Structure 1
Amino acid sequence: MEVDLGPGLAQERIRERALEGERDGVIKESAQGGPPHRRSPGRGEPRLHAQHDSDQGTRAQVWSQSPRAGQEMPRSACCKAPCSSQSRFLALALAFFALLDGWYLVRVPCAVLRARLLQPRVRDLLAEQCLAGRVLPSDLDLLLHMNNARYLREADVARAAHLTRCGVLGALRELGAHAVLAASCARYRRSLRLFEPFEVRTRLLGWDNRAFYLEARFVSLRDGFVCALLRSRQHVLGSSPERVVQHLCKRRVEPPELPEDLRHWIAYNEASSQLLRAESGLHDGTKDQ
């Protein structure tokens, strides 16, 4: 038997049913992993008031903007930070090699560390040491053979490794001294071609009261031909070669006799130095000061 509740009670009952239907729809969608949304009111059911619509819309908007469980972030947001780091690293590397002599600043320390940590110590100061190399495309000039300046660079790297293995660089550091390249000469006998393997064979020829004298031979590994011969004078600052050798060998060591061609080259350097001093109006002690 139906009971007449009156217009007011009937409207209240319809509103309660609408709210119950709304809650049932939200709970069902949440259990399925989707964002909550309002069920459209049925026929005869009143719409919720404006405040309720506003709250539900805000919650649905926030839910839709946040990632669902198991859903990945957008690729643009994930890659933004790594891409910016890679771009910064590439810019620094480009500036390093464009503004500085990058390969030289990398190779010389690597050669010294390799000679100090990975290679055995050489006790004989006059022993020959070898450094392997290969002609790369960056070493070529317009005639498609190894650029003459590359010989000097390869000899510089081999000389640093040689002085490290025989202990001269360590003795210089312990005495608070250092050595600088004061003179060099090169004789080119045959070109080194692209991808041709070679060895830089370095040895200490001797020393005097001011400098060490070293030789570097570029030997082709295809036929053993000496393609270039370089001589260099390493001037010692803050000490003397005799003191360095004595500190290294723990006794006084007489320098070996220098080759005749090397003595001629030393005499040429002395004559050239005297001529330049005379042209500049300087005396012998000005250079050392």
Structure 2
Amino acid sequence: MLLLLSSILCVVFLLSLCLFDIWCFIRIGIFCAYGSLWQKCPDDLFQDVVMPNVVLTSDLDYMLHMNNVRYLREADIARWFFFARFKFFAALRATGSTTVLSGSCSRHRRPLRLFERFDIHTRIVGWDEQAFYLEQRFVSRRKGFVVAIIHCRQHITGIGAAAIMEAIARKKVESPELPEEVKHWLKYNEASSQRLRAESNLPNNAKEK
């Protein structure tokens, strides 16, 4: 009976690995629990939240570098850790708001190789009425070099980004001026939206995240 139960559990586990990215969900759960239960909310709203990492064999592409898709997945896990550290989900529940990633832009400067250790530094760079913006730096531990950088637009539905920031900081806080590269990226997003609206015969004031 014990052997049969063990066999069934092994089959279920193997099927789960094939059908779902179980390891990703486990890591998100671990980092969220660690960030929300054992780490206090940083006093500085603009403080970096650092997530340690290492390149594994499952992260490699055919050039034996870390696959560019893995950067986005690791950045996603780092954002969950960031949200947990700043008690972001509690602020969303308290204000009846929700959030969704509405855009990201990545730039790769140098490759990460097998077993190379690196950190992901996530921080808020500013916000507007609809969204707040994050910068995520992939920093190699060998020389402290920023090997890749990702900018994210986190859209807020409900009360608005400024109110969420005040709920997290527990005081009124103003957004700093957005970095120049983020401003250029937002202009690109707007130009892309206008072209797509024109192709779809939608008015320019049509709602879009």
TM over 0.5: yes
C-alpha displacement of 1:249: 3.1
Distance in 2, matches of 1:191 and 1:140, equals: 11
Match among 200, 208, 212 for residue 132 of structure 2: 212
Equivalent residues in 2 for 1:10-159 (5 A)?
Answer: 81-159=1-79
**RMSD (CA atoms):** 1.4
Q: Report the alpha carbon displacement of residue 248 of structure 1 after superposing the two structures with TM.
A: 2.7
Percentage of pairs with the same residue: 45
Indicate conservation of the 8 Å contact 1:130/1:199, yes or no.
yes
Checking the alignment, whether the CA contact within 8 Å between 1:124 and 1:166 is kept in structure 2 is no
Note if 1:174 corresponds to 2:97: no
User: Please, what TM-score do these two structures have when normalized by structure 1?
Assistant: 0.69
**Which structure 2 segments of 5+ residues have no match?**
none
Query: What is the TM-score when the length of structure 2 is the normalising length?
Result: 0.94
Equivalent position to 2:103, from 158, 176, 183: 183
Q: Which has the larger radius of gyration?
A: 1
CA contact (8 A) 1:123 1:166 kept: no
Q: Which residue of 1 aligns with 2:119?
A: 199
Residue 238 of structure 1: which of 149, 152, 158 is its match? 158
Please state whether the residue corresponding to 2:112 is helix, strand or coil. Answer: coil
Instruction: Answer 1 or 2: which has greater strand percent.
Output: 2
The one of 183, 196, 209 equivalent to 1:276 is: 196
Q: Distance in 1 between matches of 2:6 and 2:73?
A: 31
Which whole-Å CA distance do the structure 2 matches of 1:183 and 1:267 have between them?
13
Do residues 285 (structure 1) and 206 (structure 2) align? Answer: yes
Q: Provide the rounded CA distance (Å) in 2 between the counterparts of 1:134 and 1:249.
A: 32
2-side partners of 1:279 and 1:270: how far apart? 14
How far off is 1:199 after superposition? 0.5
Q: Distance in 2 between matches of 1:184 and 1:126?
A: 19
Offset, 1:177: 1.5
Larger helix proportion of the pair: 1
Query: How many residue pairs get matched?
Result: 208
Deviates more, 1:103-112 or 1:266-275: 103-112
